[in-house]
Amino acid sequence: MALVNYNDVLAYAKEHKITVGAFNAMNMEMAQALISAADKKNSPLILQTYHAHVDYAGADYMQAITDVASRHTDMKIAMGLDHGRSFEQAKLCCDNHYTGVMIDLASENYDYNVKETRKVVELAHARGISVEAELGTISDADRSIEEIASGYTDPVMAKSFVKDTNIDCLAVSIGTAHGMYKYTPKINFELLGTLLQDVPCPIVVHGGSNTPDEEVEHMVKMGIAKLNVGTDFFNAYIGAVSKVLDEKGKKTDIIEMMAAARNAVEEVAMRKLDILTKFRV
């Protein structure tokens, strides 16, 4: 099926009481693995490109790979820019037919974040492309629990941010973080409940890797719309490549190595999707 926008997959998720996986890919094998997992698990998916991977691989390459991969399934697949750094980067992805873009100016002041996010919304919505933005600080996972908590999203501000920008979904800070956790994450479910109730758009949680399954399950049950996961797939990929290289050294067959990486990513993705679709109706 051709790529759809975020609103299309998010509406499907709401209707079926699932959380959409927003999984990061940065090459063909990862895109194939993640979309194959979605197909096997009968689940929609957002396949997204981290801003640095757009710089590395090119928005045109990543869009083309994802577009081809999405035609290998009947599931709804969207294609997004993850943590877009500027209006210009968001525009680049819109020009290259991404169906969703995230503009992340959460580290800037509120007014600048609103102004630039609105610019992205005007451009993207005119082309049927969805927009995600962020409020609060989603830290890196090597920070202390206290540091992570100091960036929590303020629900009152979040409500006005959504009204001021007209975004389609909001990434919030509730205790998850990006990368490998140094300490077991402490999710603030009370804050999440308030955000889900008060914020007038779907809620996105980042930092889905190595967050304990029970915590993810609880957030899914509460109704988060989209869960971003990246590091778990990168680690699975690197782990599989390393294993083949350790075993075969210079005699490594390149197809065997890439296939092992693709299979490892697919397996991790299927396990994640089991949790995200656990309460499907």
Catalytic residues: 82
Helices within the chain (DSSP H only): 6-16, 28-40, 51-57, 59-70, 87-95, 110-125, 145-149, 155-165, 189-198, 213-222, 231-248, 254-276
Sign of CA dihedral 20, 215, 207, 196: positive
Is the Cβ of residue 27 or residue 160 nearer to ligand 13P in the bound state? 27
Sign of CA dihedral 193, 195, 199, 201: negative
Among 206, 226, 262, 272, binds ligand 13P (CB under 6 A): 206
Nearest to 133 by CA among 112, 156, 150, 148: 112
Among 5, 19, 113, 209, binds ligand 13P (CB under 6 A): 209
41 belongs to the binding site for ligand 13P (CB under 6 A): no
228 belongs to the binding site for ligand 13P (CB under 6 A): yes
239 belongs to the binding site for ligand 13P (CB under 6 A): no
Is the Cβ of residue 205 or residue 260 nearer to ligand 13P in the bound state? 205
Is the Cβ of residue 179 or residue 252 nearer to ligand 13P in the bound state? 179
Strands 226-229 and 20-24, sheet pairing: parallel
Among 208, 224, 236, 276, binds ligand 13P (CB under 6 A): 208
How far apart, in whole angstroms, are the C-alpha atoms of residue 180 and residue 107? Answer: 21
Is the Cβ of residue 34 or residue 244 nearer to ligand 13P in the bound state? 34
82 belongs to the binding site for ligand 13P (CB under 6 A): yes
Q: Which stretch binds ligand 13P (CB under 6 A): 125-133, 162-170, 183-191, 225-233?
A: 225-233
